[in-house]
Structure 1
Amino acid sequence: MTGWSPLLESLPPEGRRRLFALAGPRSFPTGSRLFEEGEAADRFWLIRSGAVALDVYVPGRRAQVVETLGPGQQVGWSWIFPPYQWHLGATAVETVRAWEFDATEVRGLCAADTGLGYEIMRRSAAVIADRLQATRLRLLDLYASDGSASS
């Protein structure tokens, strides 16, 4: 397992081993939908190869891509907080190979080993902050480019 994601890069080897004991390989062909906004968020992925576009529903428009993720990046953070529903949608824009993690099992690991849990949640919080900023910037671009933004 090379090319660690930010979620894993500085975890101690034993922490990575315990987390990956919960992972399984998963593939998504180009064009397949990983999840829809509002669906149950019961897993997440670390991309090994390929690309995933994250999108947000905008009333009166087609879904707007807010970020594209590639190798080493984490897809999904909505599994962390109740009510465990996706806040965005996701589509494979290139064939994706990823490690898939069951959210319930990872939350259980975090609860059982609070030190490891803290480190996983701290890294996931950084992903959340990055995604929220990317979404904000993309929506500002979207509305500014069509003249809908006011000064």
Structure 2
Amino acid sequence: MKGTGLFEAIPEGSREPLMRLGHEASFPAGTRLFEEGQRADRFWVIRTGTVNLDIHVPGRQAAVVETLGAGGLVGWSWLCPPHQWHLGAQATSPVEAWEFDAAEVHALRERDHELDRALLTYVVEVIGGRLRAARTRLLDLYGPYGSGSAR
């Protein structure tokens, strides 16, 4: 558990109460975890397997923005109103993950300010990374040649 993305970012004293809220979840390859625009009421931390994050592109197949593996946080939209998924997600291989109910985590954050700060800091970093990945991927797909290159 320690050394795995989100769990590494959470102070040790807050990690155990958070983990008590999680339960194991499994998804076969091809399972849609959620669709863009649906209500976001949970999140996952991948233990094994891979999940593609995608964005709806009218008139085309969904564009894969990022592929997450072990330790990856699947879902941050539960944290920010209006609590709707900003992307879609699909298991691309069998996935084992920890699943967390957003309402339970919100209640824990209200009681544990260290957890709240660490979780918010971590999720903001994830959001920044996802925005960069989405920009690069969409420029690779639809921009002039080479426009998606790192600066």
TM-score, normalised with respect to structure 2: 0.91
Listed as ranges, the matches of 1:15-94 within 5 Å are 15-94=14-93
CA contact (8 A) 2:14 2:114 kept: no
Structure 2: gaps of 5 or more residues: 146-151
Listed as ranges, the matches of 1:135-150 within 5 Å are 135-144=134-143
Equivalent position of 2:149 in the other structure: none
* 1:4 counterpart letter in structure 2: T
Counterpart of 2:107 in 1: which secondary structure? helix
* 1:39 counterpart letter in structure 2: Q
Equivalent position of 1:149 in the other structure: none
Q: CA 1:122–1:2 in structure 2 vs 1: closer, same or farther (change >3 Å)?
A: closer
* 1:45 counterpart letter in structure 2: W
Listed as ranges, the matches of 1:7-18 within 5 Å are 7-18=6-17
C-alpha displacement of 1:107: 1.2
Identity of aligned residues (%): 54
Instruction: State the alpha-carbon separation in 1 of the partners of residues 99 and 132 from structure 2.
Output: 25
CA contact (8 A) 2:9 2:122 kept: no
Instruction: State the alpha-carbon separation in 1 of the partners of residues 124 and 7 from structure 2.
Output: 13
Counterpart of 1:68 in 2: which secondary structure? strand
1:99 equivalent to 2:98? Answer yes
Counterpart of 2:37 in 1: which secondary structure? coil
TM-score, normalised with respect to structure 1: 0.91
Q: CA 1:88–1:10 in structure 2 vs 1: closer, same or farther (change >3 Å)?
A: closer
* 1:18 counterpart letter in structure 2: P
Counterpart of 1:94 in 2: which secondary structure? coil
Q: CA 1:36–1:10 in structure 2 vs 1: closer, same or farther (change >3 Å)?
A: closer
Instruction: State the alpha-carbon separation in 2 of the partners of residues 12 and 81 from structure 1.
Output: 22
1:4 equivalent to 2:4? Answer yes
C-alpha displacement of 1:114: 1.7
Aligned pairs, number:
145
* 1:28 counterpart letter in structure 2: F
Residues 28-60 of structure 1: per-residue CA shift (max 9 Å, x gap): 000010000000100000000000000000111
* 1:82 counterpart letter in structure 2: P
Instruction: State the alpha-carbon separation in 2 of the partners of residues 38 and 16 from structure 1.
Output: 30
* 2:4 counterpart letter in structure 1: W
Instruction: State the alpha-carbon separation in 2 of the partners of residues 92 and 129 from structure 1.
Output: 22
C-alpha displacement of 1:2: 5.3
